Structures are given as structure tokens and as C-alpha cells.
Amino acid sequence: MELYVPILVLAVLAAGFAIFSVSIAPFTGPKRWNRAKLDAYECGIDPTPQPVGGGRFPLKYMITAMLFIVFDIEIIFLYPWAVAFDKLGLFGLVEMVLFIVTVLVAYAYVWRRKGLDWD
């Protein structure tokens, strides 16, 4: 508990500063209304009308996010393993090799199906 108090102090400081500067921004600057200025920036042409729901984008990003979760969990397992490795010894090594190889099966499959290619 005591270990987190300093983090809280810094958090209050940082959040206070960030919120303060973002909130005073409208008051420190001038205000000159201009229709074009309030448009979304699209290199000078009229902004693309926003479809209902924000439109659709390729699902490509979902594979990245999913793989991110997979490897994130692998890392979560790797960290305590690394910390306690000297105690676990050979047994720990063997089980981690098995684990990584199993996860790499999924990885190899995704690679093979060109899920890692970006175009």
C-alpha cells in the first residue's frame, strides 16, 4: 500500500497539469470563427461525409490485436518464469519450451496463412 502512495502523488500532479493546460487552452488563445477552419482536415477538399456508425475499416487490425493478446499472455507467463528460473531449473526450462512451441504453432499457422502480411 505504501509503495503506491508516491505513484498517486505523481499521478495527481501529472493529471492536474494535463487537465489544467488542456482546459485553459480556449481562454489563452484568440477566437476567430471560420467555417473552413472547423472542418475536418482533408487537404482542402470538403470533408468526406461520415457514414452512420463511423464507417468500416479493414478487419486486418483485429488479427494484430488478437495476436497481441496471445503474445501478451505468453509474456505474462514468461516474466515470473524468468524471475524464478534459478529455482525451477531444468523442469522450468522444459515446460517453457513446450509452452513456447505450442504457441509458435499458432504463430506459424498465422504466418503461413499470410496473416502477418500487411497490404
Residues 17-56 that bind other proteins (CB under 8 A): 17-19, 21-22, 24-26, 28-32, 37-48, 50-56
Instruction: State the nearest-atom distance from the C-beta of 28 to other proteins, in Å.
Output: 5
| Radius of gyration over every alpha carbon of the chain, rounded to an integer in angstroms | 25
Going by C-alpha positions, the residue among 79, 76, 66 that lies closest to residue 107 is: 66
86 touches other proteins (CB under 8 A): yes
Instruction: State the nearest-atom distance from the C-beta of 10 to other proteins, in Å.
Output: 4
Residues in 56-85 that interact with other proteins by CB under 8 A = 56-85
Q: What single-letter amino acid sits at 112?
A: R
Instruction: State the nearest-atom distance from the C-beta of 38 to other proteins, in Å.
Output: 5
CA angle, 38 then 41 then 43, to 5°: 135
Describe the crossing of helices 60-83 and 85-112 by its angle, rounded to 10 degrees.
160
Instruction: State the nearest-atom distance from the C-beta of 72 to other proteins, in Å.
Output: 5
